[in-house]
Structures are given as C-alpha cells and as structure tokens.
Amino acid sequence: MWKDEGGRMKDERVALRLTTQRVDLQAAARLLGAGELVVFPTDTVYGIGCDAWNVAAIEQLYVAKERERAKGLPILISDMAVLPRVMAGALSQLEQRLVARFWPGGLTLIVPRHPALPANIAPGESIAVRLPQLASCRAMIRAAGGAIAVSSANLSGYEAAISAETATKMLGTRVAAIVDGGRSSGILPSTIIDCRTGQPRIIRMGALDVTTFLQDL
C-alpha cells in the first residue's frame, strides 16, 4: 500500500512488463491514452510519462513520483510536426539552429507553452520540450498521440533509473506498465537550454555538451 497526496491508501499493483517490440509499444501507447502512467527507456535515462493533455493523469504522475508541482513536467514529442501543438509561437533562429544540430537527441528547450496544454503541467507560461533520439521511444509517443508529459523514472530525491529493474523497485506499484529496453546508454538527463531572451542560457548541463556549439554562434 502507498498513500496518495490526500493521505488515502492506494492498492499496490504489479506493473505490466513490456518490451520494445512494436506490439508492446502499441500496448504502452494505449495505456497512456487511457490515462495511465508508463515507465519507458529513452536515449538518456528511463522516464515516466502520461498523456500531456490529461489533467488527472498529470496529477497522478506528480503523486507517483512525489514530485513538487512547482517543478512542472517536460514534454517529449515524437517528431517536429508535433511542436506547434505544445509550443506557442515559432522557434527563433537560434532555436532553429540548436534543433537542427541536436534534435533528435539530448537537448531540451524551454519554450512558450501552448495555451491548450493543461495548467497543471507546468507553472508559468513556459514548457520544456525534447525530441528524443531513441526510435522505440518516439514510436511509443507517436502511437500515443505525439506528445507525453514526462519526468525521470525515480522517486523525487533519488537518482534517475537507468534500467527497468531499478525503475521497478521505485515505481513498479505506482504505474500501469514498464517498458524494458535494457540498460540505458546514458546515465545523465538531457541538457536544458533557454533561449527566450535571445541569448542561450544553460539551465542544466546534462548528457549533451553544447558549450563548443554555443561559443561558435
């Protein structure tokens, strides 16, 4: 048993174990579409995600991770065509250069949030967005509608999981399914950059070293 934020006892359940085969990725996508939480591999660390437009699912993700709502949730997209659905306005020339160089990959951009996104996905008027490199991850997201709200697969305060086994120990009774893609190739989260002022600002240096690229701009 575990308690939700309101102190109510929740029944523990065993998460469905899935692989990165197409049929399993489609099953994971159906669960996401039904408002469930799913743990999955990315090109950085394992993530936990939900439907980016489902208010209740987003709330449950905060509860499952024991994450502060003030931190908000990033969004992973399946391809560039989805970006206008989560971002207000258009990419600046600087952002276009960063995206052309580092997407898909370990770069997260802070951009203006589309007004259609639920208010509880992130505080303020911005949202963090990334196009992941891992093909199985993008395939699952595409089948789920093109965008999911995410966080690293761990309880807040603990290191991010880099394997399905580690994720299961922390979140296995709090999610509907865990997609096992083996051990992550990376051990660091993505690098976060904010270019909204016209100058690139590194919010978090992670898996991607962008310093040389930024110096050459």
Residue-by-residue pLDDT tens, the chain, 217 positions: 344 555 544 556 789 999 999 999 999 999 999 999 999 999 999 999 999 999 999 999 999 999 999 999 999 999 999 999 999 999 999 999 999 999 999 999 999 999 999 999 999 999 999 999 999 999 999 999 999 999 999 999 999 999 999 999 999 999 999 999 999 987 889 999 999 999 999 999 998 999 888 877 7
Instruction: Give, for 97, the enclosing helix (H) or strand (E).
Output: helix 93-102
Q: What is the CATH number of the domain that holds 211?
A: 3.90.870.10
User: Amino acid identity, residue 193?
Assistant: I
Give the residue among 137, 143, 136, 153 at the shortest CA–CA distance from 47: 153
| Positions of E strands within the chain | 2-3, 9-10, 16-18, 38-40, 47-51, 75-77, 107-112, 126-130, 147-152, 177-179, 191-194, 201-204
Q: In this structure, what DSSP letter does residue 53 have? A: T
Whole-number Å distance between alpha carbons of 198 and 109: 13
Measured at the alpha carbon of residue 157, what is the angle toward residues 151 and 163, in degrees to the nearest 5? 55
Show contacts of 164-168: CB within 8 Å, 24+ apart. 164/17, 164/39, 164/41, 164/46, 166/46, 167/39, 167/46, 167/48, 168/15, 168/39
Number of domains in the chain: 1
- Looking at the whole model, is its pTM more than 0.95? no
Domain with 189 in it: 2-215
Q: How much is the pLDDT for 212? A: 84
